Each structure stands twice: as C-alpha cells, then as structure tokens.
Amino acid sequence: MLCWHMAWTAETVTHGVFSDVHGNLPALQAVLKELDSRGATQLWAAGDHLWDGDDPLEVWRLLRDRKVRCGQGLADRALAVLKVDHLHPMDPKMAESLDHLRDVRRNIGDLVLEELRRLPVQQRVPLLNGGEMLVVHGSPGNPVEEIAHDTDGAELLGLLNDDPADLVLCAGSHVPFDHPLEECHLVGLGSVGQAPEGNTAHFAVVRSSLQGFEVELAWVEY
C-alpha cells in the first residue's frame, strides 16, 4: 500500500488538511487563502479532487502549484481506471454521469489521469511528539469504505482496524466531525467542494509540537 512519509525538524508544524474538492475551484481558493492566514506550511488533501465540478484541470494545477500532498479517493480512482466504454447504463441519469466522466477525462488529459492513478490511498505523517497522523479518504481498514459522523460501535472499530496512528483524518461523507477515541483521535474532514450547507468549504488545521498535537475543524464561505 502506497504512503507518503515525511520527517519534520521544526519545533512546531502547522498542517492544513482537507478533502473532496470535487473540481470546485472557488472553494479550493478560499480554503487555501484561509490556511495561509492560519500559518499552515504543510498541506494535505485526502482525495476526490476533480470529479465532478466545473474546473477539474484548474483545481489540479492549483493543488500542484501549492505542493499539496494528495491522496486518492474513490472518484479519483474511477476517473483514472474505470472502463467507461464497457459499461451499459440502464437509466438516463447514469448515462449522463458517464458522459460527464468522459468530458472530465478529456479536460484533464492522460498525464493527469496517470497522476491520479498513482496517488497513495494513505498518507502517514510523523508528528513532532513521536506520534503519527494518518490522512485517508475512506478508513484505515478499508480505503473504499467511509467513516461517517454517526458510525459507531463494532463497525467503527472494524474500520479503524487497530491502525497505529494517533490521529486519523478521513473523508468521504462530506460531514465534518471530531471524535477523540480511546484508540485514536478521529476527525472527519467534511468537504471543500460539496459541503451539504452549500457555498461552505470545510478544512482542518493540525498543530504539531513536541508536547503533542491539537486539531481545529473550521470552514469558510466562498
């Protein structure tokens, strides 16, 4: 399983973490501006970057220009590898979605599709106190199965899968949440480009120091 591994030497590091931009350029621009104002120097995105907003290529260029470390979500995987021409949709809505997928692929081009295919499904980040932060779109136990704000009990423990990370930041449900658990600190990142509230973009700020870490969930209008 592919992962990013980074090592930090500063006394304090501020991470900006977000997910589910879905090709929404104004929302991404608003989040990056807000993270800049909060002093975030390390930027992480948990997946679903381009499908199915109006500006997929511009979003990808901005993510790359800002050196955001991107993970792979389900929509990224579908864009990169789905055999669209082998599918036979049974209803008009599905046919419309597949046509849109073809349009997005043409818009972003083969090089970006290959970059999406190669994205890691997990990103593991050492924290300054010796702990570890995990950024994942789905869950530690299954990258295609999301943890939602109301997931609990045995199902939640199964999705965490005894992962060793001290802080797990996940996405997929588009609803942010903050659950300090006995096993780890679990955070749902919400969505930049498709927040249920509309015209609102979610993100998280993680401040890492030798004493530990703190997490702030926040949002910005656009």
Per residue in 186-217, pLDDT tens?
999 999 999 999 999 999 999 999 999 999 99
Which CATH class for the 12-77+120-221 domain?
alpha beta
pLDDT interval class at 5 (50, 70, 90): very low
Which residues in 10-159 belong to E strands, given as ranges? 12-18, 42-45, 69-70, 122-126, 132-136
What are the residue boundaries of the structural domains of the chain, listed by start?
12-77+120-221
- The string of pLDDT tens digits covering residues 28-39 is 999 999 999 999
Helix (H, G, I), strand (E, B) or coil at 129: coil
pTM summary value: 0.91
pLDDT interval class at 90 (50, 70, 90): confident
Q: Is the dihedral of CA 82, 88, 91, 92 positive or negative?
A: positive
